[in-house]
């Protein structure tokens, strides 16, 4: 016969076994999925491309790749081969991609190849490595079916480069995208960053997405800072700097002066802060403040912005200077552009 003590212990065990799933159910926040977030207002058109995949319950990794491709393929766009060249007049591209299993691939200092993000994905899927650079990255791309382009500058980049050569000064321009929006009327698929004269001043596109299955992925693609030293690589192809994804926690990507992002392993920091319980915006703010703390005076002269999403589909952003916009697309709203709060916001 079962003793009374054994019965009570047994009863207590069943109760706790029952209450654990009930408690965790009670705590679960509503999840917004699918959702895609990209840097800048030009991210809205990029998100629309991602949505063609996410809206059909496609995978986040496929969505961020097609999103990045769409802007890389835009002629006279500063992301991809149409971007501004280095100081020697050559366009060099950086990109990285990361999926829900922490698989990642990256290319840097890649020349004459149209879709660096897709080469990065091939590095991820077909090699035992994470990163290929320069000639080796180009050789790998050609071996994997990519075409070698001419390397000619886009009309807009040619014009800007000729202008730059007059002084040959390396001076990254803060929020150059926003300044041009004010100066010219935008139109076209990437409006308002795509201008009447066909120019498009933008270096980097970072896109992070949560798909219908609840998986996160991200992509970051850039022609880098215009008129950089030959061989210079920024944060955009560096996993943990320009992009980081942890499928248990969230994803983050960055835009702005890459050197400063690399110094603090920016997007890894953002994700770790979300792991510690911060909201996406709070986490981005902490990373921005870390950059400023290192060099408070210099930080007045450059821009860095982070965007982040967490596993629940909550999103946020923060930047050093005002003027950093980002685009969010989810099922119920068809996409919206927001202006990130910033450390040096005018009060
Ligand atoms: C870089 N982070 O190469 C990139 C530049 C950028 O909008 O984001 N430009 O440092």
CA of 121 to the centre of ligand 1 (A): 20
In a domain? residue 296? yes
* pLDDT of amino acid 168: 81
In a domain? residue 308? yes
CA of 24 to the centre of ligand 1 (A): 41
Distance between CA atoms of 199 and 163, rounded to whole angstroms? 14
Whole domain around residue 128: which residue ranges?
Answer: 35-342
204 is catalytic: yes
Task: Specify the higher pLDDT residue, 194 or 34.
Answer: 34
Max CA separation in the chain (angstroms): 97
Model confidence at 202: pLDDT above 70? no
In a domain? residue 8? no
In a domain? residue 2? no
| Catalytic residue chosen out of the listed positions 39, 204, 221, 267 | 204
Distance between CA atoms of 37 and 201, rounded to whole angstroms? 20
Distance between CA atoms of 79 and 93, rounded to whole angstroms? 8
Task: Specify the higher pLDDT residue, 340 or 179.
Answer: 340
In a domain? residue 11? no
Which residues, 6 or more positions from 198, have their beta carbon under 8 angstroms from its beta carbon?
75, 76, 155, 156
Calculate mean pLDDT across residues 153-180: 75
- Residue 327: pLDDT band (50, 70, 90) is very high
Provide the 10 A C-beta neighbour count for residue 31.
13
Which CATH number goes with the domain that contains 305? 3.60.20.30
In a domain? residue 256? yes
Distance between CA atoms of 67 and 116, rounded to whole angstroms? 12
- Residue 26: pLDDT band (50, 70, 90) is low
Model confidence at 198: pLDDT above 80? no
Mean pLDDT estimate for the chain: 86
Which residues, 6 or more positions from 293, have their beta carbon under 8 angstroms from its beta carbon?
none
Task: Specify the higher pLDDT residue, 188 or 103.
Answer: 103
- Residue 195: pLDDT band (50, 70, 90) is very low
Model confidence at 186: pLDDT above 60? no
DSSP state of 83: S
CA atoms within 13 A on the CB side of 165: 11
Kindly list the distances between the CA atom of residue 324 and the CA atoms of 28, 63, 227, 304, in Å, as whole numbers in the listed order: 32, 23, 22, 8
Model confidence at 1: pLDDT above 70? no
Residues with Cβ within 6 A of ligand 1?
203-204, 222, 224-225, 234-236, 255-258
DSSP state of 300: G
Model confidence at 207: pLDDT above 70? yes
- Residue 174: pLDDT band (50, 70, 90) is low
CA of 171 to the centre of ligand 1 (A): 13
- Residue 347: pLDDT band (50, 70, 90) is low
In a domain? residue 12? no
**Best mutation site among 38, 41, 242, 287 for ligand 1 pocket (most ligand atoms within 8 Å of CB):** 242
Work out how many domains the chain is built from and give that number.
1
pLDDT tens digits, one per residue of 268-287: 999 999 999 999 999 999 99
* pLDDT of amino acid 232: 96
What percent of the chain is predicted at pLDDT more than 90? 69
Helices marked H in the chain: 4-27, 43-54, 60-72, 116-126, 134-143, 155-165, 176-183, 258-263, 266-275, 280-294
Model confidence at 83: pLDDT above 60? yes
In a domain? residue 22? no
Nearest to 104 by CA among 274, 231, 247: 247
pLDDT tens digits, one per residue of 284-323: 999 999 999 998 988 988 899 999 999 999 999 999 999 8
Between vectors from CA 237 to CA 288 and to CA 192, what angle results, nearest 5°? 70
* pLDDT of amino acid 172: 67
């Amino acid at each position: 016969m079962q003793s009374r003590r054994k019965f009570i212990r047994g009863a207590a065990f069943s109760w706790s076994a029952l209450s654990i799933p009930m408690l965790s159910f009670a705590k679960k926040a509503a999840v917004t999925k699918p959702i895609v977030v990209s840097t800048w207002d030009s991210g809205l058109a990029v998100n629309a491309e991602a949505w063609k995949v996410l809206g059909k319950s496609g995978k986040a990794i496929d969505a961020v790749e097609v999103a990045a491709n769409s802007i890389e393929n835009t002629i006279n766009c500063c992301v991809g081969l149409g971007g501004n060249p280095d100081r020697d007049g050559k366009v060099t591209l950086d990109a990285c991609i990361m999926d829900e299993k922490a698989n990642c691939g990256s290319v840097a200092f890649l020349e004459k190849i149209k879709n660096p993000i897709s080469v990065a994905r091939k590095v991820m899927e077909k090699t035992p490595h994470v990163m290929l650079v320069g000639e080796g990255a180009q050789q790998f791309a050609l071996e994997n079916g990519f075409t070698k382009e001419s390397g000619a500058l886009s009309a807009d980049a040619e014009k800007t480069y000729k202008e730059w050569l007059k002084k040959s000064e390396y001076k990254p321009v803060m929020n150059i995208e926003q300044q041009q929006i004010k100066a010219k009327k935008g139109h076209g698929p990437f409006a308002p960053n795509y201008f009447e004269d066909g120019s498009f001043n933008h270096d980097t596109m970072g896109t992070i997405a949560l798909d219908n299955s609840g998986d996160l992925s991200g992509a970051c693609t850039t022609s880098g800072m215009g008129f950089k030293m030959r061989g210079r690589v920024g944060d955009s192809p560096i996993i943990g700097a320009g992009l980081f994804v942890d499928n248990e926690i969230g994803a983050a990507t960055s835009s702005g002066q890459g050197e400063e992002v690399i110094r603090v392993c920016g997007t890894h920091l953002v994700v770790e802060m979300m792991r510690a319980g911060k909201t996406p915006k709070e986490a981005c703010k902490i990373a921005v403040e870390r950059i400023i703390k290192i060099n408070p005076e210099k930080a007045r002269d450059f821009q860095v912005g982070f965007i982040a999403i967490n596993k629940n589909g909550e999103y946020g952003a923060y930047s050093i200077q005002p003027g950093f916009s980002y685009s969010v697309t989810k099922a119920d709203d068809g996409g919206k552009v927001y202006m990130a709060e910033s450390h040096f916001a005018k009060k």
